[in-house]
């Protein structure tokens, strides 16, 4: 297949403003958009810059806007993307170079929600803590997050105000809030109940559409708001 790849290029070191460049590449229908980007980088223009690592949708490096929607470049196949493929950096974060954005604010939001189990008690027998399969299931979905930022950068609330903690951070807060082993639920709910926390969600469902892991993000957000209600914080 002959593909026209349109990439929004921007190198603040050299360019006055972002601009679109077109590249002709040939590909198998089963190739991934990441393969197209590599063809350009490796054999046409080595200055094209993006992040990637595992190339099969588990490391979360290569989220970007492809044909208007947030996706992982390594999970989107040429046969589905069509003969003209447009690629640009995720929205709401500063473009550092081409498809590579400044992820620092994203990690800051993540760290803000205490994304770690808090529980200093160890069972007397020295063995694992018991947890029923049903309790384990409560955070199955949200523990699947790969921190790719596709959800947060698809959120209109986040676009308008980066102080909003964003769906990815809420997903990771949820993962611990509903874990029966955790002892810091109240603290986390207080963080979530902050004016820049969970209340700012307007349930536009962009995040659910963008998530490459199909995590039911709005359901998790709803569960967090319910927990806040139950905790008496609101």
Residue ranges that bind other proteins, judged by CB under 8 A: 11-14, 30, 41-43, 45-47, 49-61, 75, 77, 96-97, 100, 103, 107, 111, 114-119, 122, 126-133, 136, 139-140, 143-144, 146-147, 176, 179, 181-182
Q: What interhelical angle do 167-177 and 217-231 show, nearest 10?
A: 60
State in angstroms the smallest separation of the CB of 165 from other proteins. Answer: 16
Contact 177, 188 (CB under 8 A): yes
Residue 215 in tokens: 């995590």
Q: How far is the CB of 231 from other proteins (least distance, A)?
A: 21
Report the nearest approach of other proteins to the CB of residue 157 (Å). Answer: 24
Q: Which is nearer to other proteins, 6 or 41 (CB)?
A: 41
Residue (88 or 179) nearer to other proteins, CB: 179
Residue 45 vs 194, nearer CB to other proteins: 45
- Rounded to the nearest whole angstrom, what is the least distance from the CB of residue 221 to other proteins in the complex? 20
State which residue, 8 or 41, has the beta carbon closest to other proteins: 41
């Amino acid at each position: 297949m002959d593909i026209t790849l349109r990439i929004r290029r921007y190198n603040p070191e050299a360019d006055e403003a972002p601009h679109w460049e077109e590249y002709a590449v040939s590909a198998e229908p089963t190739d991934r958009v990441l393969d197209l980007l590599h063809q350009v980088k490796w054999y046409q223009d080595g200055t094209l810059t993006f992040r990637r690592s595992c190339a099969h949708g588990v490391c979360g490096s290569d989220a970007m806007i492809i044909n208007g929607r947030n996706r992982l470049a390594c999970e989107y196949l040429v046969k589905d993307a069509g003969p003209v493929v447009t690629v640009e950096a995720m929205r709401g974060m500063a473009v550092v170079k081409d498809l590579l954005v400044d992820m620092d604010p994203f990690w800051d939001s993540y760290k803000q929600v205490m994304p770690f189990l808090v529980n200093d008690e160890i069972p007397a027998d020295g063995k694992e803590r018991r947890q029923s399969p049903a309790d384990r299931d409560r955070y199955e979905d949200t523990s699947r997050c790969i921190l790719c930022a596709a959800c947060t950068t698809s959120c209109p609330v986040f676009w308008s105000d980066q102080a909003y903690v964003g769906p990815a951070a809420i997903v990771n807060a949820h993962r611990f809030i509903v874990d029966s082993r955790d002892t810091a639920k109240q603290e986390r709910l207080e963080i979530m109940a902050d004016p820049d926390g969970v209340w700012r969600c307007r349930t536009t469902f962009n995040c659910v559409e963008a998530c490459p892991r199909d995590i039911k993000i709005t359901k998790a957000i709803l569960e967090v708001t319910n927990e806040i209600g139950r905790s008496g914080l609101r």
